[in-house]
Structure 1
C-alpha cells in the first residue's frame, strides 16, 4: 500500500473495489468489520465493486451483510469483471446492461479451455463442484471446483504459476477473447475489451464521475491479473495483499477531511 501515501483521498469521489481476496476471502462473506467500513464509505460518497463473480455472489458475499440503513443508492455493482452493471433504484436492484456471449462464442471458449487444462496436466486430486461455470457474459474456470474450501484453494496456486500456463495457451488459441487470472484458483474469460477497465469507463459514463476522481483497490494488479486492466484507465490504483490490508486502507480513507 505504499502508493497510498501519494494519493489525496479527499479528492476521490468514487472508491472501486475488487471482491475476492480484497474485501473478503475467496467466495466468503465480508466480515462484520468490513461491512461497517463499507457502510462508512457509502455515507461519505460513491462505492463500486467489480469482480469476476456473478450477481448471486455479490448478494451472498456483500449485500446480505451490509448494516441496515446503508446507503445502497451510493453503491454500484459490476459482476463478471464489469460485463454487467447493477444500480439500486426505487428500492430495488436494476441491471443496466449485460455483455453476453453468443452460443458459438461459448462453444469455442469451452472447447479450448478444456483442451488447455488437459494439456497442462494440472488435474487436482479432488474437485468440489464443477470446474467451469457459464456466467452468461463470462466463462470462469475454477481449478478445484466452484465450491472448494478456502484452505486447499489458497494452497493450490498461490503464485499464479499454474494458471499462467493455462492462460498462455488460451491466449494463443482464443486470442479474440480476454483471458484474466483472478481469485484463488480462477481464470475469467470475457469478450475482448470487456474487463475491469471497461467497467471503470462505464462507471465514468453512468455516474458522470471523471476518472481522475476514482480510486481502484484490488489484490491482482499485476500483468495477467484480472485487476490489471484498471491501470489502463488512468485511475489511481492500489494493490492490497488481503482483506485486512484493505481494511487498513479504508480506515485511512475515512480519516480524510
Structure 2
C-alpha cells in the first residue's frame, strides 16, 4: 500500500487558479486518515492558501500530514499545529531575478507574444521561481469561467509556450526554463523541478519512490508533471479535477 498521495494542483485538484471543488476537498480530508498527502504546483504559497486550504476542512491532526510544495518544489511548507512553517526556499538573488526577467521580456517581444489585454502581472517574482503568464496572473480571478476558457484557447497546441521556453533557455542556460500551465513559463534554479520536490519529500519522510502515487494532468513528455514520471514514481494521468475525484473515490472505496 502506498504511504503518500501526491498531486499537481491546477487541472488536477482544481480548475486553473480556481477554488478546490467541495467533493475533492471532502475526499482529501477522508484520505488524510490513511495517507500523507503532498501538493506540488508552480503557484506561490498564497495561491495554495486561497485555492487549496480554504476548501480543505481538515483538523490540525490531519493538516500535519499535508505537505505543500509551491513553485514546483522550490519551497516547502509544513503545518505546526497552528500555522504553516516554511521549511526551505531555493530563492534567487536580486541579480538573478533581473537577468531572468530581462530574458523573458526579450523572448515574448521578439516572438510577438506580448498580449495587449492582460489581467494582472504577466511576470511574477515568486522568490524561488519567476513565472510568465501570457494573459496575466489575475485573469481567472477577474473573469471566472471566461478566464479559464481564454487560457485554454491561448495556446492549445503548446507552440507558443515551447517557442518562448526555447528562446529564453538559450539566453539564460544557467537556469531551468520549462513550460508550466496552459499559458505559463516557469524558471527556477538548475535541476529543480517536481522530481526535485519529490526527492526532498522522500528524504524528509524517510520513504522510497515506491511509497508514492502521483496524480497529474501534464505527464506527457514536455509537461511540467513529466519529471515525476521520469524520476520513477508511479503516476496516474488525469484530465481534470472531475477525473481526479473519480480516481480518489476508487482509492477510498478500496481502503475504507
Change (3 A) 1:68 1:213: closer
Cα contact 1:201–1:233 (8 A) shared by 2: no
Structure 1 segments of 4+ aligned residues over 3 angstroms from their partners: none
What residue is the counterpart of 1:38 in the other structure? 28
What residue is the counterpart of 1:243 in the other structure? 241
- Pick which of 80-89 and 172-181 moved more: 172-181
Q: Write the distance in 2 (CA, Å) between the matches of 1:184 and 1:191.
A: 21
Q: Write the distance in 1 (CA, Å) between the matches of 2:31 and 2:157.
A: 31
What residue is the counterpart of 1:53 in the other structure? 43
Deviations 1:48-90 (A, max 9, x none): 0000000000000011111243710110000000000011123
1:159 and 2:149 equivalent?
A: no
Q: Write the distance in 1 (CA, Å) between the matches of 2:246 and 2:55.
A: 20
Deviations 1:71-119 (A, max 9, x none): 1011000000000001112322111000001112111111111111011
* Offset at residue 232 of structure 1 (A): 2.9
What residue is the counterpart of 1:65 in the other structure? 55
TM-score of the two chains, using structure 2 as the length reference: 0.93
Q: Write the distance in 1 (CA, Å) between the matches of 2:251 and 2:245.
A: 10
Deviations 1:118-168 (A, max 9, x none): 111123241111100000000000000111122211111122221011011
Cα contact 1:137–1:190 (8 A) shared by 2: yes
Change (3 A) 1:109 1:34: same
TM-score of the two chains, using structure 1 as the length reference: 0.92
- Pick which of 236-245 and 67-76 moved more: 67-76
Among 112, 118, 123, which residue is 1:127 paired with? 118
What residue is the counterpart of 2:130 in the other structure? 139
Aligned pair count reads 247
Q: Secondary structure of the residue that 1:247 maps to in structure 2? A: helix
What residue is the counterpart of 1:115 in the other structure? 106
Q: Write the distance in 1 (CA, Å) between the matches of 2:86 and 2:63.
A: 14
Q: Write the distance in 2 (CA, Å) between the matches of 1:164 and 1:203.
A: 29
Cα contact 2:29–2:58 (8 A) shared by 1: no
